[in-house]
Amino acid sequence: MKHIARTVAVLSVAAVTAFASAACTSGDGEAAAKPDKIEKIGLMVQDMSNPFFSAMDKGAKEAAAKIGATTNTQDAQLDLANQNNQIDAFIQQGVDLIVISAVDENGIEPAIERAKRAGIIVIAVDTPAKGADAVIMTDAVQAGEKSCEYLIQQLGGKGNILLVDGTPIQTIRDRITGCNNVVRKNPGIKVVGQQASKNDRASGLAVTTDMLTATPDVQGIFGMNDPSALGAVLAVEQVKAAGRIKVTGVDGSPESVAELKRTGSPFVGTATQNPAEMVRQAVEVAQGIIDGKPPAQTTILIPSELVTRDSVNEYQGW
């Protein structure tokens, strides 16, 4: 009987210990300490089919090489569930830093909190993500303003324009806000259509075609990113309106550079982003957090520049 009692006691202690351990790993206990060094970086992008995110991957590899770290890039394919699973995988892999371009800035917060409780530094890039230690992004309002200012200038301050919108994340909303800021200052300009693409060329083509069918009297189109703007270019050319409709975008992508150099293209300008620099700065900010020097501001904005047919040959690109 004593042997049985002792066995029950040992099993009880083991059960309590296991429960306590599970509570800590589930987030009910104290958070793990942040790393002393960045050795493993997990990069999470929205959609690797977009060259913007390929440039982020390149920037991550460059930044990691400088500090002797490894990288693991994961493509969410614009799916929040994928990003939740990817964060949990990074926690299991013991990464030190997660750099994330969030599909859903609010929906991803619980997963980010799990990562932070595991001692992982989380830096958002391109668009905010709730719970992240910092966010590094283009001044998206400025980018929208620069692109639309140039479009309206090319139209002589008069005409009807379309807005090719995108997925409802903060950086895209900010670009549309920037464009609308400029439209309000130009009473000769009227927005006659606005539809959301899926941020890619194919959907940009589809929604622009729909809008041009419904409202053919259009002189300008603002695409909130370069892929959607280049889709709009295809739509314009399909209705044989390249001579009367002008298109601008946001990104400064290699594809937009080629389009600016193409003779006869309706594409006339793009406001730049620097995706590789966002990731490089994310690694620098994370290193500062480890060194006890967190950023003075948790939102760091990278200025946008306008690239046109006249200036494209001087643009350094991605």
Q: In the chain, how many domains are there?
A: 2
Cβ partners under 8 Å of residue 109, min gap 6: 129, 130, 131
Say if residue 214 is in the same domain as residue 202. yes
Q: Give the whole-angstrom CA distance, residue 150 versus residue 102.
A: 29
Q: Determine, yes or no, domain membership for 291.
A: yes
Q: Determine, yes or no, domain membership for 77.
A: yes
Say if residue 265 is in the same domain as residue 293. no
Say if residue 127 is in the same domain as residue 244. no
Question: Kindly report the CA angle at 167 between 267 and 43, in degrees rounded to 5?
Answer: 95
Q: Determine, yes or no, domain membership for 297.
A: yes
HSE of 47, CA atoms in CB hemisphere, 13 A: 14
Q: Give the whole-angstrom CA distance, residue 70 versus residue 210.
A: 45
Say if residue 268 is in the same domain as residue 144. yes
Say if residue 84 is in the same domain as residue 204. no
pLDDT over 70 at 200, yes or no: yes
Q: Which residues are 136's β-sheet partners?
A: 125, 300
pLDDT over 50 at 22, yes or no: no
Say if residue 121 is in the same domain as residue 202. no
Say if residue 190 is in the same domain as residue 115. no
Q: Which residue has the higher pLDDT, 152 or 10?
A: 152
Say if residue 259 is in the same domain as residue 152. yes
Q: Give the whole-angstrom CA distance, residue 40 versus residue 283.
A: 11
Task: Please tell me the predicted confidence (pLDDT) of residue 27.
Answer: 43
Task: Please tell me the predicted confidence (pLDDT) of residue 30.
Answer: 76
Strand ordering across the sheet containing 220-223? 189-196, 159-165, 220-223, 246-251, 267-272, 306-308
In which domain, by residue range, is 86 found?
40-137+275-302
Task: Please tell me the predicted confidence (pLDDT) of residue 29.
Answer: 59
Say if residue 228 is in the same domain as residue 281. no
Task: Please tell me the predicted confidence (pLDDT) of residue 16.
Answer: 36
How does the average pLDDT of the chain come out, rounded?
Answer: 92
Q: Determine, yes or no, domain membership for 106.
A: yes
Helix, strand, or coil (residue 42)? strand
Q: Determine, yes or no, domain membership for 17.
A: no
Q: Determine, yes or no, domain membership for 183.
A: yes
Say if residue 151 is in the same domain as residue 235. yes
Say if residue 80 is in the same domain as residue 130. yes
pLDDT over 80 at 194, yes or no: yes
CATH number, domain of 183, equals: 3.40.50.2300
**What is the pLDDT averaged over residues 291-316?**
96
What percentage of the chain exceeds 90 in pLDDT?
90
| DSSP, residue by residue, 20-81 | HHHHHHHTSSPPPPPPSS--EEEEEES-TTSHHHHHHHHHHHHHHHHHT-EEEEEE-TT-HH
**What is the pLDDT averaged over residues 154-159?**
98
Q: Which amino acid is at 292?
A: G
Q: Determine, yes or no, domain membership for 207.
A: yes
Task: Please tell me the predicted confidence (pLDDT) of residue 15.
Answer: 39
Are residues 252 and 318 in contact, defined by beta-carbon separation less than 8 angstroms?
Answer: yes
Helix, strand, or coil (residue 107)? coil
Q: Give the whole-angstrom CA distance, residue 128 versus residue 134.
A: 8
Say if residue 108 is in the same domain as residue 210. no
pLDDT digits (tens, 9 = 90+) for 220-250: 999 999 999 999 999 999 999 999 999 999 9
Rounded-to-10 torsion of CA 37, 40, 43, 49: 150
Q: Determine, yes or no, domain membership for 149.
A: yes
The band of 276, judged by pLDDT with boundaries at 50, 70 and 90, is very high
The band of 13, judged by pLDDT with boundaries at 50, 70 and 90, is very low
Helix, strand, or coil (residue 196)? strand
